[in-house]
Amino acid sequence: MSLTVTPLDHVGVEISGLNLEETISEATQQQLRELWDEHAILVFRDQHITPEQQIEFSRIFGPLEMHPLKATTSEEYPELFVLENGSDKDKFFTAFYNGEEIVGRLDWHMDLHYTARPNRGALLRAVVVAEEDGLTGFGDLAKAYDALDDETKALVEKLEVAYTFSMQRRHMRYVNLDGYEPGPFSPKKPADVAFPDFADAAYPIVVKHPISGRKVLEVVEQFLDRVITPQQFGLSNDESIELLERLVEHGKKAEFTYFHHWKKGDMVLWDNWRAMHCTTGTKPGIKRVINRTTIAGDVTLGRVLKGE
Ligand code: OGA
Ligand code: MN
C-alpha cells in the first residue's frame, strides 16, 4: 500500500492511498504511526467501512479505551462511541449564541484533560453529515508553542495551570461568553448527566510530549481556570490572567488550526496529547452521526490537585 501525504491548511496532513479492504502490512502500520507522531492530525477520505473495520484500524495506534460516557456507547461494539446530533437528547446540549439556537457546540478542549490523564488520541468517522455546520476544528499546540517569542517561552517554562471541571459554560473563565445563554435543559451539575465530579487537574504550561519529546502549549480554553501560585513566579494575579488570555488567543490563531468540513466516510485521527479540538455544533433537528474510537493513554500528563 503506497500512502500519499498532502499537507492540510496550516496543520495536519491528508493521507490518501489507504485501502482498508486490504490487510495493512506491518510496514504501512509503522508508517501510519510515524505520520501520526509527526503531524498529530491525520485526515482520510472515502472510508466507507464497518464499525469492526474502524475498531481494527484504530488498534494500529494503540489499545482502545471505553469512553466514560457509557450511556451512549454502542452495545454491540463497546469500543465504539456514537456521537449523534438530531436525536431526542439534543435538548441537553442546546444553547444560544447571539440568539441562535445551536446543538452540541464545544469550545476548544483536549479530551479527558480534567482527569490529568488524557487519552492518547481518538478517531472520528462521519456516518451522517450535516449539510451545513457541524465542523470540527483541530489545533496543533506543538506548533503554537514553537511560535512563542523567547521571553514568553522562558516565562511559561516555570508555570503550571489548573483546570476546573464544570458542566456550566458560564463558569468557565477563558471561553467567550459574549452573547451566550444556556438552554433550558443545559445541565447544571455533573450528576444531571450521570457524570462524576472531578477535582482540579494541574499541568505544566509546557508539557513534553511523551513520544516525540516536542514541547506542547498546554493551554486550552475549556475548563481553564488559573495559573498556580503566580506570585511565586513574579506575576500578579492580574498579570497571570492576562497571560492566559494571551496564550488562549495565540493557540486559536488560524496558522495553528484546521477546520474539517465533513463528508460521509471522512475519518480524522488526532493526537490528544498534542492537538486540541472544538466543534461548531448544528442547528436544531439536523442529523449528524460520527462514530468514534478512542486510543487509550498510558501516561498521566498532569496531576490531580487535592487540597490545594
Ligand atoms: C469528541 C469531540 C467533536 C465533533 O469526539 O471528543 O469533541 O465534532 N467531537 O464531533
Ligand atoms: Mn472532544
d(CA 74, CA 72): 6
Q: Is a pLDDT exceeding 80 seen at residue 69?
A: no
Check if the beta carbon of residue 247 is closer than 8 Å to that of residue 217. Answer: yes
Instruction: Identify whether the C-beta of residue 254 lies closer than 8 Å to the C-beta of residue 10.
Output: yes
Q: Mean pLDDT, to the nearest integer, of 255-268?
A: 98
Q: pLDDT tens digit string along 265-280?
A: 999 999 999 999 999 9
Length reported for the chain = 308
Q: How many angstroms separate the CA atoms of 170 and 173, rounded?
A: 8
Indicate which atom in ligand 1 lies nearest the CA of residue 109: 7
Decide whether any atom of ligand 1 lies within 6 Å of the 272 Cβ: no
Residue 277 alpha carbon to ligand 2 centre in Å: 6
pLDDT of residue 216: 98
Rounded to a whole number of angstroms, the CA Rg of the chain reads 19
Among the ranges given (3-17, 77-91, 137-151, 249-263), the one the predictor scored with the smallest mean pLDDT: 77-91
> With a 6 A CB cut-off, is 67 part of the ligand 1 pocket?
no
pLDDT per residue as tens digits for the range 159-203: 999 999 999 999 999 999 999 999 999 999 999 988 889 999 999
25 C-alpha to ligand 1 centroid (Å) = 29
> How many angstroms separate the CA atoms of 267 and 137, rounded?
13
Q: Mutation test of ligand 1: which of 123, 279, 282, 294 has the most ligand atoms closer than 8 Å to its C-beta?
A: 279
Residues 6+ apart with CB under 8 A from 304: 115, 116, 199, 200, 201, 202
9-47 pLDDT, tens digit per residue, is: 999 999 999 999 899 999 999 999 999 999 999 999 999
Check if the beta carbon of residue 92 is closer than 8 Å to that of residue 188: no
The verdict on the CB of residue 290 being under 6 Å from ligand 1 is yes
- State the closest ligand 1 atom to the C-alpha of 111, by its place in the atom list counted from 1: 6
Give the per-residue pLDDT at 1. 82
Q: What is the pLDDT of residues 75-119, one digit of tens each?
A: 788 899 999 999 999 999 999 999 999 999 999 999 999 999 999
pLDDT at res. 306: 86
CA of 229 to the centre of ligand 1 (A): 32
Mean pLDDT score of the chain, rounded to an integer?
95
**Ligand 1 atom with minimal separation from the 124 CA:** 5
Residue 239's pLDDT is: 98
The answer to whether the CB of 222 is under 6 A from ligand 1 is no
Q: Is 227 in the pocket of ligand 1 (CB under 6 A)?
A: no
How much is the pLDDT for 194?
86
pTM exceeding the 0.75 threshold for the entire prediction: yes
Is the C-beta atom of 260 inside 6 A of ligand 1? no
Tell me the ligand closest to 291's alpha carbon.
Answer: 1
- The ligand placed nearest to the CA atom of residue 104 is 1
User: What does residue 235 show for φ and ψ, rounded to 5 degrees?
Assistant: -115, 135
Using the predicted structure, report yes or no on whether residue 72 has a pLDDT greater than 70. no
Task: Using the CB atoms, write b or e for 256-277: b if 16+ within 10 Å.
Answer: bbbbbebeeebbbbbbbbbbbb
Does any ligand 1 atom lie closer than 6 A to the CB of residue 107?
Answer: no
Which CA distances in Å does 266 have to 18, 23, 105, 291? 12, 20, 20, 11
Nearest atom, ligand 1, residue 135 CA? 8
Distance 306 CA to ligand 2 centre (A): 25
Question: How does residue 66 score in pLDDT terms, banded at 50, 70 and 90?
Answer: confident
Binned at pLDDT 50, 70 and 90, residue 123 comes out as very high
Going by C-alpha positions, the residue among 287, 307, 255 that lies closest to residue 141 is 255
Please, are residues 176 and 224 in contact by the beta-carbon 8 Å criterion?
no
How far is residue 61's CA from residue 17's CA, in Å, rounded to a whole number? 18
For residue 50, the SS3 value is coil
Going along the chain from its start, the domains and CATH numbers come out as: 4-298 (3.60.130.10)
Q: Report how far residue 119's alpha carbon sits from residue 112's, in angstroms, rounded to the nearest whole number.
A: 7
Ligand 1 centroid, distance to 136 Cα (angstroms): 7
pLDDT above 80: residue 121: yes
Residue with the larger pLDDT of the pair 69 and 205:
205
Q: Inform me whether the pLDDT recorded for 57 exceeds 60.
A: yes
Distance CA 271, CA 111 (A): 10
Identify the nearest ligand to the CA of 137 by its number.
1
| pLDDT recorded at residue 70 | 56
For residue 1, give the amino acid letter. M
C-alpha of residue 110 to centroid of ligand 2, in Å: 6
Give the integer Cα–Cα distance in Å for 119 and 298.
8
